[in-house]
Amino acid sequence: MDSEVNIKAQAWLKSNIDENSKNEIQKLLDADDPSELTDAFYKDLEFGTGGLRGIMGIGSNRINKYTIGKATQGLSNYLLKAFPDEKISVAIAHDSRNNSDFFAQTTAAVFSANGIKVYFFNALRPTPELSFAIRELGCKSGVVLTASHNPKEYNGYKAYWDDGAQVTPPHDENVIAEVNKIENIDDINFQKDPSLIVEIGEDIDEKYLQEVKNLSLSPEVIRRQKDMKIVFSSIHGTGITLVPDALKRFGFENVHLVEEQSTPDGNFPTVVYPNPEEAEAMSLAMKQAEKLDADLIMATDPDADRVGIGAKNNQGNFQLINGNQAASLLVYYMLKMWSEKGKLDGDQFVVKTIVTTDLILDIAKKFNVEAHETLTGFKYIASIIRELEGKKKFIVGGEESYGYLSGDFVRDKDAVSSCALLAEMTAWAKDNGMGLFDLLIELYQEFGMYKESLLSITRKGKSGADEIQEMMRNMRSNPPKSIHGSAVEKVYDYLSGEVKSQDSGKIESLDFPKSNVLQYTTEDGTKISARPSGTEPKIKFYFSVKAPLENKEDFDKVQQSLSNKIENIVEELSLR
């Protein structure tokens, strides 16, 4: 048995933890196979830039009362340093995962034990409402207990700052430093002060839903299309608490819930992964839509910050619409409505991440609206909103991983408001004799057809991590001269903060936070991005290719051609 693992497990046994936890550790120590003990204690679960995420269980490398307590103690210590002589309050919410409520209660206890006032949602709520509550209640921070769309064995802890966005530099690194200073469980104060914990619920719901309702741009269209058939699934998560209400407030009267997935359940019994990015998780909604001949399918992940959608395609079959396509449609609809209402005066902007489709840039250019790009992660979109607050008006933003935001009263991706606006957009398209797919094809005809794809490569263990780093080193030092017969024009290195023109050798600076991301762009509009995961043993490659679409009848042919091109690029770069 690894002596360091044994020492750490024994230290936990001797600390002031509860008897059940001690018994669990003793079972691991007594087991014939030490692998479970090793996995539970070989390292500390890292508090990353977004917080914690991991498998639930006992041990320093697991999500449990004590790792949650440690994170909260570290965040408390930093808040007390960051806001000296100020009254500090935080907001806490949780999703439908197993133990999320318990972990939320634990978080509230530690904050209150440190003299920090807690606004505590009295039942599960979507992550975007937590973001809203932080700003609405004047909090300095907030926490939501969720592991987003991870499998049922996982849970997590997302930390937010006073603007309602996930913690960004320099606060993220400072919080991490405070968490890492806590070496002993006995340094965590779990002694709850009930006088500092205030329950919140329907009052915040009402204020939040009113802000969502204020986003509506086509109420007259909805009045005509109020019977449009919508199928919605919350995939056993928090979306059920607010999405149906938001749709009702917009004026939709024909919303069909996927009842098998409507009850919040941390075991997610009907899916393998509770992730609307996965076709399998959307299958029940798709079947119901086919029976009803629905106009729109929507499903949210457990904490209701992501939404997946589907509609009939050009062949009359139901098809899922990916995150790049949905983001493009939403940006187009929002800008078109703002334009028609005379609300665009040059002081508005949209935001996307660097791995999200450039179709959004084309759409923004058409409407003369400023478009910003930022690193992957919605907290960076929120950072731009914060930087431009009071100077320019944020309209809409999105990322390819099914996260969208409209308006600035929330500072994280928001599936609740997005569901309402996506439904309104579908009603507007229907009012104009189109389905969502028809509208998408029209965009491709106007701006060119974009096809995006994501390839994720997993390499486990230390050797795998080394292999991924070597892959990135090779791509930096030996960029290809051409890709699929088109010259590579520029290499964007977000780690060095430089962009290099391949033909001239000219180097310019990138105005972005440093991040281990590399991008190649070619003469024919192809873009390839490489990004190692910060939390998993994998590297992600994002592909974007483009071609003209002269006629809607050519859609299938052009789409297949672009798919083939991506496959050829993957082979050419030896990524299989």
pLDDT over 70, % of the chain: 99
Q: Quick one: pLDDT at residue 31?
A: 92
Over residues 316-354, the pLDDT tens digits come to 999 999 999 999 999 999 999 999 999 999 999 999 999
Inter-residue contact 124 to 100 (CB < 8 Å): yes
Inter-residue contact 305 to 234 (CB < 8 Å): no
Q: Quick one: pLDDT at residue 447?
A: 98
Q: Is residue 199 part of a domain?
A: no
> Residue 535 — very low, low, confident or very high, per pLDDT cuts 50/70/90?
low
- Say whether both 293 and 391 belong to one domain: yes
More confident residue, 1 or 232: 232
- Say whether both 175 and 213 belong to one domain: no
> Residue 48 — very low, low, confident or very high, per pLDDT cuts 50/70/90?
confident
- Residue 199 confidence (pLDDT) above 80: yes
For residue 482, give the CATH number of its domain. 3.30.310
Over residues 464-496, the pLDDT tens digits come to 888 899 999 999 999 999 999 999 999 999 999
Q: Is residue 164 part of a domain?
A: yes
Q: Is residue 533 part of a domain?
A: yes
For residue 100, give the CATH number of its domain. 3.40.120.10
Q: Is residue 17 part of a domain?
A: no
Domain boundary among 426, 447, 468: 447
CB crowding 346-368: b at 16 or more within 10 Å, else e: eebbbbbbbbbbbbbbbbbeebe
Q: Quick one: pLDDT at residue 576?
A: 66
Q: Is residue 5 part of a domain?
A: no
- Say whether both 383 and 430 belong to one domain: yes
Quote the pTM value.
0.96
Stretch 544-560: mean pLDDT? 97
Least trusted range by pLDDT, from 76-80, 127-131, 171-175, 214-218: 171-175
Which residues are tagged catalytic? Answer: 148
Please give the Cα distance from 141 to 118 (Å, whole number): 10
Number of domains in the chain: 3
Q: Quick one: pLDDT at residue 351?
A: 98
Please choose, from the candidates 513, 229, 490, 279, the residue with its C-alpha nearest in 3D space to the C-alpha of residue 402.
279
Beta bridge partners of 519: 492, 529
- Say whether both 391 and 478 belong to one domain: no
- Residue 1 confidence (pLDDT) above 60: no
Stretch 280-290: mean pLDDT? 98
Label the pairing between strands 117-121 and 89-94. Answer: parallel
Inter-residue contact 63 to 54 (CB < 8 Å): yes
- H helices present in 341-412, as ranges: 359-366, 378-388
Q: Is residue 37 part of a domain?
A: no
Q: Quick one: pLDDT at residue 460?
A: 79
Give Cα separations from 81 to 350, 475, 516 (angstroms).
35, 42, 31
- Say whether both 76 and 119 belong to one domain: yes
- Residue 574 confidence (pLDDT) above 90: no
Domain boundary among 419, 447, 475: 447
Is residue 206 exposed (0-12), middle (13-18) or buried (19+ Cβ within 10 Å)? exposed
- Residue 134 confidence (pLDDT) above 90: yes
- Say whether both 405 and 547 belong to one domain: no
Q: Is residue 23 part of a domain?
A: no
Q: Quick one: pLDDT at residue 536?
A: 66
Give Cα separations from 96 to 147, 186, 239, 435, 455 (angstroms).
10, 29, 10, 33, 30
- Say whether both 376 and 234 belong to one domain: yes
Identify the three-state secondary structure at position 78.
Answer: helix
Q: Quick one: pLDDT at residue 575?
A: 84
Reported as half-sphere exposure (CB side, CA atoms, 13 A), residue 135 has a value of 17
- Say whether both 473 and 421 belong to one domain: no
Domain carrying residue 132: 43-182
- Say whether both 423 and 454 belong to one domain: no
- Say whether both 372 and 405 belong to one domain: yes
Q: Quick one: pLDDT at residue 115?
A: 98
Stretch 94-111: mean pLDDT? 98
Stretch 443-472: mean pLDDT? 91
> Residue 503 — very low, low, confident or very high, per pLDDT cuts 50/70/90?
confident
Over residues 383-422, the pLDDT tens digits come to 999 999 999 999 999 999 999 999 999 999 999 999 999 9
Q: Is residue 30 part of a domain?
A: no
What is the helix (H) or strand (E) element at residue 434, kind and residue range?
none
- Say whether both 139 and 243 belong to one domain: no
Beta strands in 114-227, from DSSP E residues, in sequence order:
117-121, 141-145, 154-161, 197-200
- Residue 534 confidence (pLDDT) above 80: no
Please give the Cα distance from 265 to 193 (Å, whole number): 30
Average pLDDT, rounded, for the chain: 95
- Say whether both 443 and 482 belong to one domain: no
